Amino acid sequence: MTQPMLPLGQYLLTFTAIESVRLPEFSGSTWRGVLGHALRELSCITGFSQCEGCPQQLACAYGYLFLSPPPPNTERMRLYTNAPHPYLLRPSGKSGSLVRAGEQVEVELILVGHGNRFLGLFVQALALATQRGVGRGDGRLILSSVCQADPGVPPAWHEILDDGQLRPLRPTRPALVALRENVTVIIEQPLRLARHNKIVRSEELTFSDLFTNLLRRISMLQYFHTGTPLDTDFAGLVAASRKVEIINRDLHWHRWNRYSSRQNKRIAMDGIVGSFTIQGDDLAPFWPYLWLGQWVHAGKGTTMGLGHFQLAAD
């Protein structure tokens, strides 16, 4: 069984509201927006108004983390303008509701491979952004704590912010648990997968749609953010995934849109939520990728927390 070599850092940032904060549904888009502005402010050394054409883009932390252009000498994704980003955000708690002064908001930050080198910058940027205001009305928050998990389900959290100093644990691969006969995939955040450049609807979803996307995403994350290509039988795995059938399908299409300040318009982010079950001894080749997918997500909008799923075994 080939296993991906993808070390992860799973962090939990807790903020306390100074005043009332109203967060939208699936607030990862809001958090990613304020993070991006603060990251650019803290990273940019040229003062250019646009990153496109900047001679420092490949050496810039913001360029690597938020834009992630493939290096000029890359052997993969040469036609793409962006590689998968080495981070994602998972807001929890009171997403989609009012957070009153004194209440807390938690945001999980997943950093992949070399992205963990920039933990301090992420923490600094999110602390700066929340002091300025988040959500409708720009309610302000203050950073209260930073914890890191020993990857597992459920994770065990350890405080790593001590007297203003970060003391992170070494990023590790999530420990792979034994495969059970029946595996239920629970999609918690809208999953947006494309097949032949068309978004897959809930009634159309196949196991191969999910697995093929995961295999490609994990391969690209490992290649661009660890420097180690994934050595596996891509064609064989994809072909085998088409033979796995979904049972106990309980999926539906969730309509949702977000506002883009950059484009000054609302953008549809509809996706699949719900659950389905797969079973059989032939699941073993796919298991390491499914298990890791719980941390790296699948589909479009992963940096804002979309495509998050969990696995339950019978």
Per-residue pLDDT tens digits for 179-237: 888 899 999 999 999 999 899 999 999 999 999 999 999 999 999 999 899 999 999 99
Residue 93 reports pLDDT greater than 60: no
Q: What is the mean pLDDT of residues 54-82?
A: 83
Residue 300 reports pLDDT greater than 60: yes
Residues with Cβ within 8 Å of residue 44, at least 6 apart in sequence: 60, 62
What is the Cα–Cα distance from 133 to 8, expressed in whole angstroms? 29
Could you give all domains of the chain from N- to C-terminal order, each with its CATH number?
Answer: 8-166 (3.30.70.1890), 182-313 (3.30.70.1900)
Per-residue pLDDT tens digits for 131-184: 999 988 889 999 999 999 986 667 789 999 998 899 999 999 988 888 888 899
Q: What is the pLDDT of residue 16?
A: 97
Residue 292 reports pLDDT greater than 80: yes
Residue 50 reports pLDDT greater than 60: yes
Q: What is the pLDDT of residue 282?
A: 85
Per-residue pLDDT tens digits for 11-20: 999 999 999 9
Q: What is the mean pLDDT of residues 299-310?
A: 96
Residue 47 reports pLDDT greater than 90: no
Confidence bin at 51 (pLDDT 50/70/90): confident
Q: What is the pLDDT of residue 146?
A: 98
The label of the residue with tokens 């995939």 reads: 185
Lowest mean pLDDT among 87-91, 93-97, 154-158, 302-306: 93-97
Confidence bin at 280 (pLDDT 50/70/90): confident
What is the SS3 assignment for 194? strand
What is the Cα–Cα distance from 176 to 102, expressed in whole angstroms? 39
Tell me the pLDDT of the chain averaged across its residues. 90
271 and 254 Cβ atoms separated by less than 8 Å: yes
What is the Cα–Cα distance from 133 to 120, expressed in whole angstroms? 20
Confidence bin at 260 (pLDDT 50/70/90): low
Confidence bin at 262 (pLDDT 50/70/90): low
Per-residue pLDDT tens digits for 23-38: 888 899 999 999 999 9
In 3-state terms the chain splits into helix, strand, coil percentages (rounded to 5) of 30, 30, 40
- Of 297, 219, 310, 285, nearest to 5 (Cα)? 219
34 and 169 Cβ atoms separated by less than 8 Å: no
- How far is the CA of 46 from the CAs of 49, 68, 202, in angstroms? 9, 18, 46
The label of the residue with tokens 């509809």 reads: 270
Is the pTM above the cut of 0.85?
yes
Residue 265 reports pLDDT greater than 80: no
